Structure 1
Amino acid sequence: MRIGELAARTGVSVRALRYYEEQHLLRAERTASGQRTYSEAAVERVRLIQQLYAAGLSSKLILGLLPCVETGEADPAMMDRLVAERDRIDRQVDELVRTRDRLDAIIGCSHAAHDDSRSIA
């Protein structure tokens, strides 16, 4: 598939896909005329890259992680780094849950106050 189709299927800009190539996170074949073409597997790879970026991983770490995704194996140093990243993400999730719970409490109080003011009127 061409770069525009990959962008459309993944919701990622063409510019971002080119950046992924520059960072060696994504590989394209080139046609005789120089156009990029991607395999069907590129769709899932781009989605994984997006998830990892969204979780705060750097392109350097993602680049080191991708071979582990393909082989299912990681050396001890990479395993330590992955565990540290997972633990960091767990802390983020915990903080997000606490924030959501506080917002729920505020919404609950505001909603109750709003209902009370409507019943008085």
Structure 2
Amino acid sequence: MTDLTQQKCEACRADAPKVSDDELKTLIREIPDWVPQVRDGVMQLEREYKFKNFKQAMAFAIKVGEMAEAEFHHPSILLEWGKVTVTWWTHAINGLHRNDFICAAKTDALLAD
């Protein structure tokens, strides 16, 4: 499988296919720190990142926002003191699309920047 961080998000429409159970099992192996969960009936990917202080957490949240804007795919970002929680899902299909896994991998890669 191609490294998810090297892929680009594709435009997603309401009729785009959701990730199948088999695809989920394969893709989640590439982003092992992310937790698939169902919230309000919608499958999502979520990860919590910890930082030493609010300033570092805020800087990371800004990086996530900039990456999301570049991909034109936008997560939920919860910024707290020393913590950022990022949640990816595709609003257009009310579930997970390959784009969410691409962006989750790219979010992880931001830690190395």
Per the TM superposition, whether the score is higher than 0.5 is no
TM-score when scaled to structure 1? Answer: 0.28
TM-score when scaled to structure 2? Answer: 0.29
Higher RCO (CA-CA < 8 Å; seq separation 6+) = 2
Q: Which has the higher helix share?
A: 1
State which structure, 1 or 2, has the greater radius of gyration over its C-alpha atoms: 1
